[in-house]
């Protein structure tokens, strides 16, 4: 019984370890899905975002947005610049 409870706690922890990422361009939505981590090309230097990150709005420079999805696959999108908002485990990127 104790082992089942420990597994249940572990599974609940895994269920809630992702954030919603949306990458939107003027033409289309490039990506919308659950991710574990994101690395962004901030104007003042690149930075990473993990679950429960503090709220932030930042401009982005030309570079790659790199992220790991909820199935631990790595992805990358190249952007010319843009803006990102991080709020309550939702990351919205408006990119060129």
Query: Distance between CA atoms of 93 and 59, rounded to whole angstroms?
Result: 10
Instruction: Please report the pLDDT score of residue 16 as a whole number.
Output: 66
Question: Cβ(20)–Cβ(29) under 8 Å?
Answer: no
Q: Where are the domains of the chain?
A: 18-95
Q: What is the pLDDT of residue 15?
A: 57
CB 84 within 8 Å of CB 92: yes
| Tens digit of each residue's pLDDT (9 = 90 or more) over 25-57 | 999 999 999 999 999 999 999 999 999 999 999
CATH second-level architecture of 18-95?
A: Sandwich (2.60)
Secondary element (H or E) of residue 24: strand 19-24
The string of pLDDT tens digits covering residues 55-94 is 999 999 999 999 999 899 999 999 999 999 999 999 999 9
How confident is the model at residue 1, as a pLDDT? 47
| End-to-end alpha carbon distance in the chain | 53
């Amino acid at each position: 019984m104790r082992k089942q409870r420990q597994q249940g706690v572990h599974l609940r922890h895994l269920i809630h370890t992702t954030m919603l990422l949306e990458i939107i361009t003027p033409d289309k939505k490039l990506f919308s899905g659950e991710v574990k981590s994101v690395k962004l090309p901030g104007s003042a230097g690149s930075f990473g975002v993990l679950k429960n990150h503090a709220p932030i709005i930042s401009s982005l420079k030309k570079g790659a947005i790199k992220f790991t999805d909820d199935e631990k696959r790595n992805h990358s999108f190249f952007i010319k610049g843009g803006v990102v908002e991080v709020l309550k485990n939702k990351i919205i990127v408006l990119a060129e």
